[in-house]
Amino acid sequence: MTERVEPTALSGFAGREARGESGMESGVDKQGQPLLELLARVRSFQGLDPAALHLLSEGAILQTYEPGEVVFREGDTALAYFLVVEGEVDVLRYSITGEERVFFVFDAGKTVAEAAMFMPHGRYPMYVRARTVARLYRLRRDKLLAACRNYPDLSMQMLALLSQTIYVQVNKVDWFSSSSAAERLANYLLGLKPCKENKVCLPLSQRQLAAHLGVRAETLCRLLTDWQAKGYVAGRRNEWELRDRAYLQDLASAAQRSF
């Protein structure tokens, strides 16, 4: 079975095959990093038997995506998951009204769509699109399933991480149902890694961020304007200085759990 390819925009491996771009076989990427070394650093695969890593790497293909290029679409047959070598990718969905909602942004060293490899319907539940120029290894679903059957440590590690992901998402749903827009924004800003001293760079546009937080874009704009006027934050567009962390931490305190 092959992945679905829409005529308006070829996506993922199927689209690249149609354009005659077969990528690079597993082994060493263009920067000289062996795939096995990259896999050994992935959280799900750390400490595994080298033979398990070899099995996971079989049939892997390295591909480059341009900004905005679709890796796969919601509903496509899930034949592979991906390892980000360089760049960033968005994991997103579109609402019934066509509004784009970005759920995650994954960068180098992260795997994408491994959970989809175990879903009984066998299809991707979301879109993945390159945010920047991105280099990804396409890793085969059948090799992951074979490795899980043959190496119980891998199965247990993946089960633990997927369980943790479910726990985090349940907490997020609970938090969103009981928090204000200000509390959600404060918690989001504090969770970002600083890109400069005391500054964070938003990985999303303000419209995408509003959708991510479950608020209207106008509400988000008013909040940021009000916080700037009061000296809690300073900045514009995607770069913001967190000037009053104590105030933000107080707002976000309800989102913190003891375990």
pLDDT digits (tens, 9 = 90+) for 127-147: 999 999 999 999 999 999 999
Sheet holding 239-242, edge to edge: 194-196, 199-201, 239-242, 233-236
pLDDT values of the chain reduced to their tens digit, one per residue, 259 residues:
333 333 233 344 444 543 334 344 445 555 546 999 999 999 999 999 999 999 999 999 999 999 999 999 999 999 999 999 999 999 999 988 888 899 999 999 999 999 999 999 999 999 999 999 999 999 999 999 999 999 999 999 999 999 999 999 899 899 888 999 999 999 999 999 898 888 999 999 989 999 999 999 999 999 999 999 999 999 988 899 999 999 999 999 887 777 7
pLDDT of residue 27: 56
pLDDT of residue 87: 97
Question: Cα 7 vs. chain centroid, distance in angstroms?
Answer: 26
Token digits of residue 201:
């760079």
Instruction: Round to the nearest angstrom and report the end-to-end CA distance of the chain.
Output: 43
What's the pTM value of the predicted model, to 2 decimals? 0.80
pLDDT of residue 70: 98
pLDDT of residue 16: 54
Q: What's the chain look like in SS3?
A: CCCCCECCECCHHHHHHHCCCCCEECCECCCCCEHHHHHHHCHHHCCCCHHHHHHHHCCCEEEEECCCCEEECCCCECCEEEEEEECCEEEEEECCCCCEEEEEEECCCCEECCHHHHCCCCECCCEEEECCCEEEEEEEHHHHHHHHHHCHHHHHHHHHHHHHHHHHHHHHHHHHHHCCHHHHHHHHHHHCCEEECCEEECCCCHHHHHHHHCCCHHHHHHHHHHHHHHCCEEEECCEEEECCHHHHHHHHHHHCCCC
CA distance 199 to 234: 9
Tell me if residue 135 falls in helix, strand or coil. Answer: strand
pLDDT digits (tens, 9 = 90+) for 17-31: 433 343 444 455 555
| Residue 24 CB neighbours (<10 A) | 16
| Residue 173 CB neighbours (<10 A) | 10
With beta carbons less than 8 A apart as the criterion, state whether 108 and 86 touch.
yes
pLDDT of residue 209: 93
The partner residues of 247 in beta bridges, in order of sequence, read none
